[in-house]
Structure 1
């Protein structure tokens, strides 16, 4: 057993919502003392990096109420109960951008805020794109945009993009030189 583990003594559900659940856990610390942990439970999500045949990235602009502003992100969405991440990636890509992909490749998974949430995002790259129609949720409004990797990097640098999953995805693309290898 890891000497850093915390043992849960009691878990109390505070809120059950459509997107998240909240709980407070009382834990025994490694030194034997107790503490409380506020935890956000999330079903997980996918994020997709759509790459056009020209090597450009498809992004979306969307108002985010928690921030009270519009931000630029890669397409992403919450896993439905029992839904496989690959199926969610296909669904979210089509819903948000209207694009279909002939190739969806799983890249990696990462936690968004492990200090208080269990949300994990499964990151995919989509290529072989063909345009279709969007099928957005009735409360979802966004704009689709296409940028080069260099433009996306500049947008991170000047904080037009400051969404962590999107910045992470752009850095991943640069690291792997992904967009230059599309043909």
Structure 2
């Protein structure tokens, strides 16, 4: 059905093999028969946690992100380890980065945040029934947790104070969930 759009891999190589990311360079055949190259990043996938405190505030993080040379406000998230269950990863990342555990988990959706140059996907989970504990940050990880009402979070998105795509999508989902117009999963 989509054959008129499909690109077919002819050959490929690893253009860069880093400790976390691998950049692939493939020769492909376009639907019209022409051959071109495509470069893309292979990524193991990640989870995003949408943690809602009992008072309705959203638990967020402030973290410096080197490629953009600034601190971002974002939802907790992390890379899925090989063979790791996605929900188990979400539970692990929430504890590691914020110290919180949750008694209620709901799958929200899967997003693909960089489809032009990466196969990365992010599974978003809603976490409720939060209980505070101690963080278990990785070496070299520096995170500050904050919380804010959803309305304030949406205003921060509108004004450009929050620009992280996973956080924006999570906030928009939460707005629909709280309004009762969308259901998780």
Pairwise same-fold verdict (TM > 0.5): yes
SS in 2 for 1:66: helix
**Are residue 128 (structure 1) and residue 126 (structure 2) matched?**
no
| Alpha-carbon distance in structure 2 between the residues aligned to 1:19 and 1:46 | 16
| Alpha-carbon distance in structure 2 between the residues aligned to 1:104 and 1:115 | 31
Q: How many angstroms does 1:104 deviate by?
A: 1.4
Q: How many angstroms does 1:159 deviate by?
A: 1.0
Instruction: Give the match for residue 26 of structure 1.
Output: 27
| Alpha-carbon distance in structure 2 between the residues aligned to 1:134 and 1:117 | 30
TM-score by length of 2: 0.94
Counterparts in 2 of 1:61-80, with a 5 A limit? 61-80=62-81
**Are residue 8 (structure 1) and residue 3 (structure 2) matched?**
no
Instruction: Give the match for residue 183 of structure 2.
Output: none
| Alpha-carbon distance in structure 2 between the residues aligned to 1:75 and 1:178 | 23
Dislocated runs of 4+, deviation >4 Å: none
Instruction: Give the match for residue 143 of structure 2.
Output: 142
Give the RMSD, CA atoms, in angstroms. Answer: 1.2
Unaligned runs of 5+ in 1: none
TM-score by length of 1: 0.95
Instruction: Give the match for residue 165 of structure 1.
Output: 166
The total of aligned residue pairs comes to 179
SS in 2 for 1:176: helix
SS in 2 for 1:103: strand
